[in-house]
Amino acid sequence: MRNAAEPGYLKLYRSGELAERARMASLRLARCELCPRCCLVDRSHGRRGGCRTGARAAVASYGPHFGEEAPLVGMGGSGTIFFSHCNLLCVFCQNHEISHQGEGVAVTDGQLAAMMLSLQKQGCHNINLVTPSHVAPQILAALVPAAERGLAVPLVYNSSGYERVETLRLLEGVVDIYLPDFKFWERESGRRYATASDYPDLAKAAVREMHRQVGDLVIGDDGLARRGLLVRHLVMPGGVGEAGAIMRFLAEEISPETYVNLMDQYRPCWRAGEFPPIDRSLAHEEYLEALRLALQAGLVRIEERDLARLFRYLGAL
């Protein structure tokens, strides 16, 4: 595919629209409805809602990351910024020290901008905002000085999929690559594992909106992602049926060209031991069946390392 144009936020910066988006988003902190929890807390004065974040974003760590999907990593890595806290709070979270316990430090907009610029200077191919849903206003505010000082790599919005479409629309033209999880298909799974029975409906709406904004993933001649949607699904013990339903949704209602990463690294973390059947590791056969269902659904762009495992397995039968 041909290389895409410059990151979208630069056009918005030059027109003044980026600063206006940041202003509009900051106003929403006064009665916070940024995420589906709709806490209505005045975060602009330091109060904290369900995400336990006030007026400033908190960052747990930042740096080049080489464990992301191939089109994000390249040779220089994906420039990840891990935000503290989370609006979903899954009982099996593998980063519970960050999401549940709030490990990290509150930063100013200028400091966040400096992190973005540092990652670009280190040779990262993108800025990968991990768990950004509850700090969208702070991200927009930081992008203004970052763009002014030369930030010019794609922006990745790496979220749990638990989003409000109203907030995503503030990000239209700002985010180049949407990287949502699609965790649960069944309302009971959302309720049991994240106290979010509305997760499936909201994740479907969010993925539709993300795809409307950026379309299918565009990969440049150098193998790097420039713009588009990339969906992750962590296959869970006993969850193959949900994985298959999610894959059918993506193929039939989003696009068969949706780039998908089916992940097999589930292990029981945090409080997962209290919630059978996710109190055990994923069986290899469960993962391969989920991959088979993705192909059966008609998806044609599955992370290559996932497909290689399935083809090796089928060849051994």
- The string of pLDDT tens digits covering residues 129-139 is 999 999 999 99
For residue 292, the model assigns a pLDDT of 95
Is 15 inside a domain boundary?
no
**Average pLDDT for residues 13-18, to the nearest whole number?**
98
DSSP3 helix / strand / coil % (the chain, rounded to 5)? 45, 15, 40
The larger pLDDT score, comparing residue 308 to residue 65, is at 65
Is 165 inside a domain boundary?
yes
Q: How far apart are CA 185 and CA 198, in angstroms?
A: 10
Is 61 inside a domain boundary?
yes
Residue 127 pairs with which residues in a beta bridge?
Answer: 79, 155
Is 77 inside a domain boundary?
yes
Q: For the domain that residue 156 is a member of, what is the CATH number?
A: 3.20.20.70
Query: Which tokens in the block code for residue 66?
Result: 């080489």
Is 192 inside a domain boundary?
yes
- Give the total number of structural domains in the chain: 1
Is 11 inside a domain boundary?
no
Q: How far apart are CA 156 and CA 71, in angstroms?
A: 12
Is 135 inside a domain boundary?
yes
The larger pLDDT score, comparing residue 168 to residue 307, is at 168
Q: Which long-range contacts (CB under 8 A, 24 or more apart) does 26-31 make?
A: 26/137, 26/140, 26/141, 28/137, 28/167, 29/55, 29/137
Q: Which of 1-5, 218-222, 224-228, 270-274 has the lowest mean pLDDT?
A: 1-5
For residue 1, the model assigns a pLDDT of 33
Whether residue 232 has pLDDT greater than 50: yes
Whether residue 9 has pLDDT greater than 50: yes
CA distances (Å), origin 156, targets 2, 144, 179: 19, 16, 7
* Residues 6+ positions from 39 with CB-CB distance below 8 Å: 32, 33, 49, 50, 51
Whether residue 212 has pLDDT greater than 50: yes
| Domain membership of residue 244 as a residue range | 57-316
For residue 294, the model assigns a pLDDT of 97
Other beta carbons within 10 Å of 193:
23
Whether residue 77 has pLDDT greater than 90: yes
Whether residue 24 has pLDDT greater than 70: yes
Is 194 inside a domain boundary?
yes
Question: How would residue 3 be classed by pLDDT, with cut points 50, 70 and 90?
Answer: very low
Q: Is the peptide bond before 277 cis (omega within 30 degrees of 0)?
A: yes
Whether residue 5 has pLDDT greater than 80: no
